[in-house]
Structure 1
Amino acid sequence: MTVASLGLGTYRLRPPAVHEAACRAAEDPKTAWVDTAPNYLEGRAQSLLAPALARHPVPVSTKVGFLTKSAATAAVADRALSAAEAASGHCLTAPYVHWQCAQNRTELGRDRLNVVFVHNPERTTGDPDDALRTAFTALEEQVEAGALDAYGVATWDGFETGMLTVPKLDRVAAEAAGTAQHHLRALQLPVSLVTATAFAQALDGEGPVAQAAGRGWQVYASAPLFGGKLSDLATRELADLLRPDLDVTQACLLAVASCPGVTRVLLSASSPAHWAEARAALREPPIPATTLRKVLDVLAPD
């Protein structure tokens, strides 16, 4: 059993904190990672990250799917979107996916992207399998063109609702690539002591986290502190059960990082102190699965 690495999530960062947060995330080159999206911070996240990424060439994951108003206007002007598609606020058509990948490279200052996630495909209109197949095909073409290393799926509740399953994603990616050797290599989903369905399943070797890990995919845990609310929901007694020498927030982070199959925990930490505390927590030995089961029974009973 191992502890997942720490990565910087940018969804909840304040714009003035982005540059320094990215520089802090780059301090450990063995594990450094930044996760972002073109719609984060009202469409400013990637451009705000670019100067730090130019100084520190750390790996970055970004996304395709959601549209800001400015992006929609630009994509329509470039004929990558129809007016109707732009009005929906979310799109996974091939022209848009190619257009947004190019925009992502420009905004991030990168010639090649590390990972692009299909962002919340549960928001798509029409047949979800068709939308995924179309997006995956475009992303395979990005890989073939040398503009992308790998792609994945980032979801909020796609597995909870049953719209998504790992076997389905694997099958659709193989169909898109025309071979089982596709480039779908990553999954991003909420894993915390509150959003605990996938967490509990992973402890039993089941569910999306275990299935993705079994295929050798990277698994990114988003919202590990439940949007910052978990520190208020958890108690000192609970932290003592998890790891007595850590504070409540650190103990909750270490719990997620100890989830079998999770390879990276994404944290939006604006201050140097919060980032240092998170790094220190993830240097601790993993919390045993038996202890994690007990805690989930308390915080997220069936």
Structure 2
Amino acid sequence: MTAQLALGTYRCRAIPEAAARAAASGAWIDTAPNYGTGRAQILLAPALAAHPSLNVSTKTGYFTSATGIDAVNAGVLTEGQAAAGHSLTPDYVRWQTGCNRAQLGRDRLDLVLLHNPERAHPGDRLALHRELREAFAVLEEAVAAGHVTGYGVATWSGLEEEAFTVEELLALAGEVAGGQQYHHMVALQLPVSLVMMAPIVQALHGRGPLWAAAGAGLRVMASAPLHGGELPGIVDQELADLVQPGLTPAQACILATASCPGVTDVLVAASSTSHWKEAADAVAQPPLDTARLREITDVLASP
């Protein structure tokens, strides 16, 4: 089954209009407190109010300078911590989760992701895992209070750099919840594309983070399927036709990501109606089989 289309708001230029299109499609929306120079969540709130059943994932970790000042004034960060622009300390995670609820106008958040936790303690796995465990404990508290449904991790390089593995994340969540059957870690977000295709290649060989996440039943959100908009300029029509004849290069890239084993959602920052329709038409195609995906990755890997 091909993965579903979801709206990513990191590079989205017209968030209210894009959110309305996503709502009409029943698609997930992914956001963060630092997106849209700190205004993405506020701009999303009206669409979420108009569509209460719409699912949204948000994050805690990165923050704008204005949010850093607010966090210092609230007593959850020191000025030195705020200057870093990123924090996963328990007080900050607890406070930011509350701010996310207020900005999005939701009593309960569908999904809260720790945003690029690998930034917290680069090169120090023990310290990083200790901080992840503490942050997971705060999110488990939020679940118990009815403020959050589930949580997870949104990473850019943490899995590739082996700062943590999916199995380690699940083990940490199980530790704070009192057992693997009790935790509420339900999702993983990571870059998957024909540029950053290591997760695809690994999954095709029955290993790697996508394979582990699928085995654990996690929702897997593939970010940057067009690699920040660069891929359609890299993938020519010949390669697009190898993926599937009749698709544009952008559609071919999206379909390849959406067909990857383990991926459940593909995040696209479609700011216009035409771009959203183009992406929706791509994921509506039958998924590529493993033989075709292997052929595509072999072509791209060849010198």
Q: Shared fold (TM-score greater than 0.5)?
A: yes
Query: Are 1:184 and 2:180 matched, yes or no?
Result: no
Runs of at least 5 residues in structure 2 that lack an aligned partner in the other structure: none
Query: C-alpha deviations, 1:240-289, integer Å up to 9, x for none?
Result: 11110211111111110000110000000001001011111111101111
Query: Are 1:118 and 2:117 matched, yes or no?
Result: no
Pick one of 80, 93, 107 that aligns with 1:97. Answer: 93
SS in 1 for 2:160: helix
Note the C-alpha offset of 1:142. Answer: 0.4
How many pairs does the alignment contain? 297
Partner amino acid, structure 2, of 1:129: H
Query: C-alpha deviations, 1:129-153, integer Å up to 9, x for none?
Result: 0110011000000000000000010
Note the C-alpha offset of 1:301. Answer: 4.5
Counting only pairs closer than 5 Å after superposition, residues 12-51 of structure 1 correspond to structure 2 as 12-14=11-13, 17-29=14-26, 32-51=27-46
TM-score, normalised relative to structure 2: 0.96
Note the C-alpha offset of 1:299. Answer: 1.9
Note the C-alpha offset of 1:120. Answer: 0.2
Question: Partners of 2:232 and 2:206 in 1: how far apart?
Answer: 27
Query: C-alpha deviations, 1:178-209, integer Å up to 9, x for none?
Result: 22120011000000011011111111121001
Question: Partners of 2:186 and 2:65 in 1: how far apart?
Answer: 30
Question: Partners of 1:116 and 1:299 in 2: how far apart?
Answer: 34
Note the C-alpha offset of 1:28. Answer: 2.1
Number of the residue aligned with 1:68 = 64
Question: Partners of 1:27 and 1:301 in 2: how far apart?
Answer: 41
TM-score, normalised relative to structure 1: 0.96
The answer to whether the 8 A contact 1:194-1:226 is kept is yes
Question: Partners of 1:118 and 1:301 in 2: how far apart?
Answer: 35
The answer to whether the 8 A contact 2:166-2:213 is kept is yes
Percent of aligned pairs with the same residue?
Answer: 54
The answer to whether the 8 A contact 2:8-2:31 is kept is yes
Runs of at least 5 residues in structure 1 that lack an aligned partner in the other structure: none
Question: Partners of 2:141 and 2:298 in 1: how far apart?
Answer: 45
Number of the residue aligned with 2:10 = 11
Counting only pairs closer than 5 Å after superposition, residues 151-230 of structure 1 correspond to structure 2 as 151-180=151-180, 181-230=182-231
The answer to whether the 8 A contact 2:23-2:47 is kept is no
SS in 1 for 2:222: strand
Q: CA RMSD in A?
A: 1.1
Query: C-alpha deviations, 1:80-99, integer Å up to 9, x for none?
Result: 11222112211111110110
The answer to whether the 8 A contact 1:3-1:258 is kept is yes
SS in 2 for 1:140: helix
Number of the residue aligned with 2:81 = 85
Pick one of 49, 56, 60 that aligns with 1:54. Answer: 49
